[in-house]
Chain A
């Protein structure tokens, strides 16, 4: 039988996040604290909003050509930062374990699984996501080729496939269908569009357009 919820979540008296506040007070890792007036630290012991600020770290990067300065908890992955805080939802979460490639983005031109890196580790990096690949209205040649060769069905793995495909060509790993199949095997497509993906990449490679 469902019962009425006990609404008294927080014991009276002591602050509800006492242990964490003690940690904040003592922590030397949070550099900002060294410069923070004691009054604010005291306030943080009782105020969730203020505490939240101290638990975050500033990070700046360039995402799709735009400077982005954000403050994030150190445990936030690049993927979750993109999706949940910056609303760059083109990058997808398929496994959160670096096993499927749906979250592939470029960091300083290199393809990475954005679920396997913390946002704070990308300080100063240039990040390119699927939203930053086209030149305005003009699609990137790999995007064009994916449409032409139907390199997808549901489209969910597609942003990751395309980011990976662009890098695959730039790396010089698109010399033959066999090589492409090998170097695109970090990106799972459960709809099974692999054959079409290979055709799309070969088409771009042979088309000679700069990627």
Chain B
């Protein structure tokens, strides 16, 4: 038998393209007669457009047109919309302004510089109305959405009657995905009713479907290319208004149009993680058994859509607790609509839950790790089902060993090294392990090579690489002879890359397609190859890229079979999806994060010195890319914990730190060595590979692991992210430091 490919640390199949500049992202495409688009965006946060004067802009050199609600082609999909329905911003439909930065016009010119300059010449007048961007000042507008009903198991608010309680409020600020690649699109109507798009998307089929609906075109008239995507983290899970605006502009001008938005526009046009205020209340017996959990969340949404996510999800099933209730409300502000950002709502919720568990551990005088083990949910208390697989206890144990948890002294502010306060913190994370429906086309060529196609996306985790490994194991064909092609709407259906489900969904379809291919080859052999004549297809064995007759000596390689039959290729298309198993089991991935931090006693600066993250994500297909995904999630978690916060100036409803210099994503020097470990045990039920998801759990819970470590180091509980020095600062120590350093004030 050949070496098992699943579980190897194979280099990425597209690595060479990525290190040579050969990987082409949407904006790297150039079409003849291409026009460049620049957006004119609203400087007001609520109101209406009074007038748009394009005279100067149209006189500027190279300008082809200025498209706005005054002259945009109609969007057929807007027509039947219920005017009261909160179903998204209908760009260029009318003159209403809902948020600062909303696009009001698109300027088209024959060079980028000319488009940008001309956009500054468009004169727009507005009727300004009162806007609301301050969440705290708008809590009276909070409402319940039907998608997120109140949840009660046992008694509501049972924590109040418990011997030991925690009742605290945790807040997270608005965070922005900020992938390195700027968003945008190239739109080209090559006939009046056929459209070609080069998109930045986590799902070409989703783009095709959205455009089909808006422009009422047959699916086959819309081609979406998106072979390489420069990061998404959730922001590319939908078609945004500025992309529709570009499609409209291209329709009007009848030439290809390229829009690449600016970094500051990444804050206002392509979603964000909504700021949230959470009240988390825990009740426990004096020996540490949880008796009540109440989780109440309020999160931000836009005026024109109700965005909900799994903020309170984890609290319902993470711990064995008889009484749990959750409430979830939304506050509409004059902002664009949020969108799932890595770990989505679960990351928000985990910060509150895993911080509160830590707080409870100190009240109980029980080690926070032990407290979690004490309340471990052996079965899912929410769904009342067994878990398909759960190795969380092993993950706790492994992580504790690797970080040196036994070195941790229990009392806060009890450890020091190199003049720094030392803290150890830990937390857990979890996210649903999903499996959707996907279709894969498998084509075996007569040279023995295998081509797989599906309209999946890859925003960075290494989808094609993992699929090649899975296909190699099923078929016995060497990975070097297998190609997995994605990012084209012309390929068979695959869902979006989101919710940590790609390997599960797509890998299953690859497995089924490869098996279907083998069955076709077996039938071919039985019907046409003399040596296999008296066999039945079911008895043919596949090994190392060959067909073997069971119990006999006869064998034939795939390529010989095709060559003998003079077939240039054999193709199958297979669709795969989950079945009854999802009704019998509760399916989740789990992660455990341990951190060791240094806190400067006088300045409150937090430096993470060591990270250990452990994932229970089922079978690991590629240990190299899986590790990269884990450390990547951790880096995102460092940003969430310590630095990331989009700040609004409520006087104008505008972001004031809308760039990389002021919105601090972690840089190389912010990241310590990170040790990643995998439980790497197959989930027996979820899919043929036994792989659960990992993209989200890499981040979920991490911020709490940092805040818990900061508490352990300093005795100061920071419940408001990010944990900036001002929140950690010990007033007395700071004064002392100033005196010692002869500083005034």
Question: Which A positions have Cβ atoms within 8 angstroms of B?
Answer: 1-6, 9-10, 16-17, 20, 48, 51-52, 55, 73, 75-76, 80, 83-84, 87-97, 99-100, 102, 129-131, 133-134, 139, 143, 146-148, 150, 152-159, 162, 177, 180-182, 184-198
B28 interface residue (CB < 8 Å to A): yes
Report yes or no: B61 in contact with A84, Cβ–Cβ below 8 A: no
Would you list which residues of chain B between 546 and 578 have a CB under 8 Å from chain A?
A: none
Report yes or no: B180 in contact with A157, Cβ–Cβ below 8 A: yes
Q: Which residues of B contact A159 (CB under 8 A)?
A: 19, 21
Shortest distance from the beta carbon of A175 to any chain B beta carbon, whole Å:
15
Closest residue on chain A to residue B116 by CB atoms: A75
Residue from A2, A88, A184 with most neighbouring chain B CB atoms (10 Å): A2
B233 interface residue (CB < 8 Å to A): yes
* CB within 8 Å for A92 and B181 given contacts A16-B59, A153-B632: yes
Closest residue on chain A to residue B73 by CB atoms: A2
Q: Which residues of A contact B60 (CB under 8 A)?
A: 17
If over half of A's interface residues share one DSSP class (helix, strand or loop), that class is named, otherwise mixed; here it is loop
Report yes or no: A94 in contact with B18, Cβ–Cβ below 8 A: no
Shortest distance from the beta carbon of B234 to any chain A beta carbon, whole Å:
12
C-alpha gap A76/B17 in the complex (Å): 27
Shortest distance from the beta carbon of B227 to any chain A beta carbon, whole Å:
11
B665 interface residue (CB < 8 Å to A): yes
User: Could you list 18 examples of A-B contacts with CB < 8 Å?
Assistant: A5-B70, A5-B252, A73-B113, A91-B21, A94-B263, A95-B263, A99-B263, A130-B19, A130-B20, A147-B15, A152-B460, A153-B628, A154-B180, A154-B229, A156-B179, A188-B665, A190-B233, A193-B632
Report yes or no: B19 in contact with A158, Cβ–Cβ below 8 A: yes
C-alpha gap A95/B671 in the complex (Å): 22
CB within 8 A of A181: which of B30, B62, B669? B669
| B62-97 to A contact mask, C-beta < 8 Å, 1/0 | 100100011111100000000000000000111000
Residue from A3, A90, A96, A187 with most neighbouring chain B CB atoms (10 Å): A90
C-alpha gap A41/B363 in the complex (Å): 84
Report yes or no: B16 in contact with A147, Cβ–Cβ below 8 A: yes
C-alpha gap A52/B111 in the complex (Å): 11
Nearest 7 Cβ contacts at the A-B interface: A90-B21, A192-B635, A156-B230, A153-B460, A155-B18, A154-B460, A5-B71
Closest residue on chain B to residue A77 by CB atoms: B113
Q: Which residues of B contact A134 (CB under 8 A)?
A: 20
Interface contacts beyond A153-B462, A155-B23: sample of 11 additional A-B pairs, CB < 8 Å, sorted by A: A52-B61, A93-B260, A96-B262, A97-B659, A134-B20, A150-B12, A154-B460, A155-B230, A185-B667, A185-B669, A193-B632
CB within 8 A of A156: which of B11, B61, B231, B629? B231
CB within 8 A of B30: which of A87, A147, A184? A87
Q: Which residues of A contact B70 (CB under 8 A)?
A: 2-3, 5
CB within 8 A of B61: which of A55, A131, A158, A197? A55
B250 interface residue (CB < 8 Å to A): no
Q: Which residues of A contact B61 (CB under 8 A)?
A: 17, 20, 48, 51-52, 55
C-alpha gap A181/B669 in the complex (Å): 5
Q: Which residues of A contact B635 (CB under 8 A)?
A: 189, 191-192, 194
CB within 8 A of A2: which of B62, B71, B462, B669? B71
Report yes or no: B668 in contact with A93, Cβ–Cβ below 8 A: no
B192 interface residue (CB < 8 Å to A): no
C-alpha gap A1/B111 in the complex (Å): 30
Q: Which residues of B contact A9 (CB under 8 A)?
A: 58-59
Closest residue on chain A to residue B634 by CB atoms: A192
Closest residue on chain B to residue A198 by CB atoms: B668
* CB within 8 Å for A188 and B21 given contacts A2-B71, A2-B92, A195-B673: no
Closest residue on chain B to residue A160 by CB atoms: B180
B228 interface residue (CB < 8 Å to A): yes
CB within 8 A of A150: which of B71, B92, B625, B671? B625
C-alpha gap A55/B110 in the complex (Å): 14
C-alpha gap A20/B18 in the complex (Å): 43
Shortest distance from the beta carbon of B88 to any chain A beta carbon, whole Å:
18
* CB within 8 Å for A191 and B460 given contacts A131-B21, A146-B19, A150-B625: yes
CB within 8 A of B12: which of A4, A88, A147? A147
C-alpha gap A54/B15 in the complex (Å): 44
Report yes or no: A158 in contact with B18, Cβ–Cβ below 8 A: yes
B24 interface residue (CB < 8 Å to A): yes
Report yes or no: B71 in contact with A99, Cβ–Cβ below 8 A: no
Report yes or no: A190 in contact with B71, Cβ–Cβ below 8 A: no
C-alpha gap A85/B248 in the complex (Å): 25
C-alpha gap A150/B673 in the complex (Å): 15
C-alpha gap A92/B70 in the complex (Å): 35
Report yes or no: A155 in contact with B460, Cβ–Cβ below 8 A: yes
Would you list which residues of chain B between 646 and 700 have a CB under 8 Å from chain A?
A: 659-661, 665-671, 673-674
B257 interface residue (CB < 8 Å to A): no
Shortest distance from the beta carbon of A167 to any chain B beta carbon, whole Å:
14
Would you list which residues of chain B between 351 and 371 have a CB under 8 Å from chain A?
A: none
Q: Which residues of A contact B499 (CB under 8 A)?
A: none
Q: Which residues of B contact A130 (CB under 8 A)?
A: 19-21
* CB within 8 Å for A185 and B27 given contacts A9-B58, A94-B182, A156-B179: no
C-alpha gap A138/B39 in the complex (Å): 42
CB within 8 A of A188: which of B20, B180, B460? B180
Residue from A20, A76, A154, A193 with most neighbouring chain B CB atoms (10 Å): A154
Q: Which residues of A contact B25 (CB under 8 A)?
A: 92, 156
Q: Which residues of A contact B661 (CB under 8 A)?
A: 97, 99
Report yes or no: A190 in contact with B73, Cβ–Cβ below 8 A: no
Shortest distance from the beta carbon of B413 to any chain A beta carbon, whole Å:
27
Shortest distance from the beta carbon of A211 to any chain B beta carbon, whole Å:
14
Closest residue on chain A to residue B266 by CB atoms: A95
Shortest distance from the beta carbon of A180 to any chain B beta carbon, whole Å:
8
Report yes or no: B628 in contact with A193, Cβ–Cβ below 8 A: yes
Q: Which residues of A contact B11 (CB under 8 A)?
A: 147-148, 150
Report yes or no: B21 in contact with A89, Cβ–Cβ below 8 A: yes
Report yes or no: B668 in contact with A194, Cβ–Cβ below 8 A: yes
B292 interface residue (CB < 8 Å to A): no
* CB within 8 Å for A93 and B633 given contacts A130-B21, A150-B625, A156-B25: no
Q: Which residues of B contact A3 (CB under 8 A)?
A: 70-71
* CB within 8 Å for A100 and B660 given contacts A143-B20, A156-B180: yes
C-alpha gap A16/B632 in the complex (Å): 53
Closest residue on chain A to residue B628 by CB atoms: A150
Closest residue on chain B to residue A4 by CB atoms: B71
B487 interface residue (CB < 8 Å to A): no
* CB within 8 Å for A192 and B666 given contacts A75-B113, A92-B180, A96-B262: yes
Q: Which residues of B contact A152 (CB under 8 A)?
A: 15, 18-19, 460
Q: Which residues of A contact B92 (CB under 8 A)?
A: 2
Q: Which residues of A contact B671 (CB under 8 A)?
A: 181, 192, 194-195
CB within 8 A of A147: which of B19, B627, B631? B19
Report yes or no: A184 in contact with B59, Cβ–Cβ below 8 A: no
Q: Which residues of A contact B233 (CB under 8 A)?
A: 190
C-alpha gap A17/B114 in the complex (Å): 13
Q: Which residues of B contact A16 (CB under 8 A)?
A: 59
B636 interface residue (CB < 8 Å to A): yes
B597 interface residue (CB < 8 Å to A): no
Closest residue on chain A to residue B465 by CB atoms: A150
B515 interface residue (CB < 8 Å to A): no
Q: Which residues of A contact B179 (CB under 8 A)?
A: 154, 156, 190
Shortest distance from the beta carbon of B215 to any chain A beta carbon, whole Å:
14
B14 interface residue (CB < 8 Å to A): yes
